[in-house]
């Protein structure tokens, strides 16, 4: 079993620009400054693309991820290569409409440690990860307004 959740973020940023901003290593580092997240291996700056890997180190967890699917500027998927989760998959979708661009993040993950891990998934990790994604997305849209 896995836990999943979805976050939606609306912006006036044109879809191709929002797509690139969402896969920017530098923007991600800026959005996670409070947790001192750093790219320590793989792509460490610029834009991450299909087949590329980045390993993040932070006080919360270090997760090596790989971009496993991409169709610019519609979506990309990053998945854990190895690390603390039994499984971690993050789909980033981008849709344009009359109000701008809608970014939809779909996250699915499973913690290790069997029944104990399932309790931690629901009681702690789901809320924590959702807050991280929402913080990141607020940063991306605020940065675009001021940058």
Q: Is residue 35 part of a domain?
A: no
Strands 64-71 and 3-11: unpaired
Q: With left for phi above 0 and alpha for psi between -120 and 50, is residue 34 left, alpha or beta?
A: alpha
Q: Kindly give, in sequence order, each residue whose CB lies less than 8 Å from that of residue 22, ignoring residues fewer than 6 positions away.
A: 76, 92, 94, 103, 140
Under a CB-based contact definition with an 8 Å cutoff, are residues 56 and 37 in contact?
yes
Number of domains in the chain: 1
Nearest alpha-carbon partner for 94 in 19, 7, 37, 41 = 19
Q: Is residue 120 part of a domain?
A: yes
Strands 64-71 and 53-57: antiparallel
Q: Is residue 3 part of a domain?
A: no
Domain that holds residue 94: 40-146
pTM: 0.89
| pLDDT tens track for 43-77 | 999 999 999 999 988 765 677 899 999 999 999 99
| pLDDT tens track for 100-116 | 999 999 999 998 877 77
């Amino acid at each position: 079993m896995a836990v999943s959740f979805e976050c939606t973020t609306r912006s006036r940023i044109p879809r191709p620009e929002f797509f690139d901003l969402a896969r920017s290593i530098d923007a991600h580092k800026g959005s996670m400054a409070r947790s001192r997240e750093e790219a320590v291996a793989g792509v460490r700056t610029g834009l991450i693309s299909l087949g590329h890997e980045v390993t993040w180190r932070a006080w919360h967890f270090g997760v090596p991820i790989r971009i496993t699917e991409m169709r610019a500027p519609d979506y990309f998927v990053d998945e854990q290569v190895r690390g603390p989760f039994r499984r971690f998959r993050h789909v980033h979708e981008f849709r344009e409409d009359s109000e701008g661009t809608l970014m939809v993040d779909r996250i699915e993950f499973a913690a290790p440690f069997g029944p104990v891990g399932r309790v931690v998934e629901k009681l702690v990790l789901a809320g924590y990860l959702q807050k991280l994604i929402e913080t990141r997305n607020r940063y991306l849209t605020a940065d675009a307004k001021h940058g």
